[in-house]
Structure 1
């Protein structure tokens, strides 16, 4: 029962995100006149397959940890070219291969995968805001965590935050957004206290929090929102406002992820915060259980977050990933010719090794955290 609780939601979420990613490659490839040989969800032995009238084999495979689109003339599903096979084709057949397309078409096909992930996230967020709305908490302090940065700055329960560094604040979530990216930076708050406006200077401190991608460090003050009846309201949004909010939500995920990656490079963040399949499966199970109590919104929200994360990951300039292909195409556009076969083959091997190391490392982090939790529960 526990296995099903975590694995089934994980497979469902990953399959949805992967399907949209690969469908982006597929549909733009078709529009560009490229023959698609296979569209696969999962790897390994086939569980189900059928051939469509365009010659594409649609398949579901036994290992549900990704997927691929194989274009005509590719050696495999990672879009590694097969020059010998392409050279042996008749001219008409060679014209519908991926490698025969101009650089701009190949770039569009490759970029379409991550782009589809962002579109999926925006669509999901828009639906959540339109159908579920969101709970708005007035930016009033309900309680102050003892020993936190907010307590040191002099915040007291009942403070109503009006602005931060001159930016008007109309919701507690808006305050959280600013504080989360402002660790170690002094912020000037204007708060209403007992009918008077008071200035409070506070410096958020770094704190680790759980996210679908693993642990992340963000700025926190140690302030909790008031949940008094007058400080909570439910808001629904029309189509236009829902899309605007969805774009903002998607950008926030991109920004926070970029800040984390920048922290990795600068040494401010630790790589042991990364999560792999086990960690994502745990969160998937938790969101699925939450969905049985409060509706589908938490489950859909997780799909959107992971869709953005996978889109960003695939844009990394690592050979084998979409970003690596885009890097090669950029070099080809500048040089006027593609890199030689030996250089590309070496780069793909390096990329495969990098992706493999990342997978092993993130899985190790998952197992280490799981062992810590079990040990903590046993003690």
Structure 2
């Protein structure tokens, strides 16, 4: 179902409709596990900055909506600030009453689980959405796998044909990894524009491997968003898909596999940016997320929910990076504490957290400027 509204209105509606629930789910993960372990939450905020609206519940937690809708936080008792940076001096001199319900006086394993619960909730939300899709719609499979994996024709420009692959060859592996259907071939190729990949085919009953250069092709979607993908210029012998019904268990398994594949693509893409294979302009920040969320909402509820699952998985991935001030940074400190049998020194923590906050802020500024520079209204 698509909605008939002006595109600018989708942008206005889509971003808060996407980020608000995802941030709330993330922070609820922290809050619920903290409450389970008896840790008191002083504040639960959707957004940062000045409070717009809020109330205090009977447990003394301030629930609030804040002005800057780019995240959120749970501030537990004993936190120096919303990023859960500990105040070492206050923690050391805390009275018995102050220690009760304090996050930083909870057992190490409890603190680790409370921190991990946020990203874990985002992962569970992603798995729930993908599993629901598989359960309701089924698993898409080719009607005839052998026909679909067989090269039927070539594009006008085809590096596969130039490398020696012929019509009638059946593709069975890319870079030594077996492929089950033509989508696997596309996924294995599209991530590597400019590289040369080993494509294994079956011809006359025997396997042969060809070194195929991957063309870099810029594709533009209906909204004008450009992306660079790899293509080798082959078309399969069949494109018909049928949806096979799935039970709850198999749907969850498919959701896990699908999510792992997405994370693998994310890691590959980030690695290519660091090695220079991809431009930093492909990085996206809040402006692009707002743009894409509006566009996906304009395509209908299912497209928007699928996009929400992707962003939820991205949030979990980013938060688990070992950067101080993010959840992964806290977990890294807890791992060090478990190995050392004592916390990292106050000075070391302070320097690391300050550096982590500076890094996150610089990254936010960079991706925002990058977003604006690549938007049609600002870009070339």
The verdict on a shared fold, with TM-score over 0.5 as the criterion, is yes
Of residues 8, 11, 15 in structure 2, which corresponds to 1:6? 11
Matching residue of 2:233: 222
1:28-86 CA-to-partner distances (Å, cap 9, x unmatched) read 11122211111111112223322223222222222211000110011211101234544
Q: For residues 124 and 104 of structure 1, do their structure 2 counterparts lie closer, same or farther at Cα, with a shift above 3 Å needed?
A: same
Matches within 5 A, 1:28-47: 28-47=33-52
| 8 Å contact from structure 2 (residues 79, 85) kept in 1 | yes
Q: Distance in 1 between matches of 2:97 and 2:270?
A: 45
- 1 CA distance for matches of 2:92 and 2:209? 71
Residue 153 of structure 1: CA displacement?
3.5
1:325-340 matches, cutoff 5 A: 325-340=330-345
Partner of 2:200: 188
In the alignment, the residues of structure 2 paired with residue 162 and residue 133 of structure 1 have an alpha-carbon distance, to the nearest angstrom, of 25
Distance 1:82 1:163 in 2: 55
CA–CA distance in structure 2, aligned partners of residues 140 and 24 of structure 1: 47
Count of residue correspondences = 364
CA distance in 2, matches of 1:210, 1:83: 52
1:270 maps to what in 2? 279
Counterpart-to-counterpart distance in 1, 2:250 and 2:233: 31
Question: Matched residues in 1 for 2:236 and 2:307: separation?
Answer: 23
8 Å CA contact 2:49–2:66 kept in 1: the answer is yes
- Note closer, same or farther for the CA distance 1:153–1:238 as it changes in structure 2 (3 Å cut): farther
The gaps in structure 2 that reach 5 residues or longer are 1-5, 143-147
User: How does 1:171-250 map onto structure 2 within 5 Å?
Assistant: 171-180=181-190, 183-190=195-202, 199=208, 201-203=210-212, 205=214, 207=216, 219-224=230-235, 231-250=240-259
What secondary structure, in the 3-state scheme, does the structure 2 residue paired with 1:233 have? strand
TM-score, normalised on structure 1? 0.84
**Residue 291 of structure 2 aligns with which residue?**
282
Deviates more, 1:233-242 or 1:244-253: 233-242
Contact 1:315 1:322 in 2 (8 A): yes
Larger RCO, structure (CA 8 Å, separation 6 or more): 2
* Equivalent residues of 1:142, 1:157 under 8 A apart: yes
Q: TM-score, normalised by structure 2?
A: 0.84
Q: Deviation of residue 303 (structure 1)?
A: 0.9
Q: Distance in 1 between matches of 2:220 and 2:35?
A: 40
Partner of 2:3: none
Mapped contact 1:316–1:322 kept (Cα < 8 A): yes
- Residue of 144, 153, 161 corresponding to 2:163: 153
5+ unaligned residues in a row in structure 1: which ranges?
A: none
Quick check: 1:113 aligned with 2:147? no
- Contact 1:288 1:299 (8 Å CA) reproduced: yes
Q: 1:40-55 residue pairs with structure 2 within 5 A?
A: 40-55=45-60
Q: Deviations over 1:141-166 (max 9, x none)?
A: 56533223234235567765455577
- Quote the offset at 1:99 in angstroms: 0.8
Tell me, yes or no, if structure 1 residue 344 matches structure 2 residue 349. Answer: yes
Distance 2:214 2:377 in 1: 25
Q: What is the alpha-carbon distance in structure 1 between the residues aligned to residue 191 and residue 285 of structure 2? A: 24
How far apart are residue 178 of structure 1 and its match? 3.2
Q: 1:353 to 1:165 in 2, by over 3 A?
A: closer
Check conservation: 2:372, 2:379, Cα contact below 8 A. Answer: no
For residue 139 of structure 1, report the CA deviation from its aligned partner: 3.7
Contact 1:136 / 1:172 at 8 angstroms: preserved in 2? no
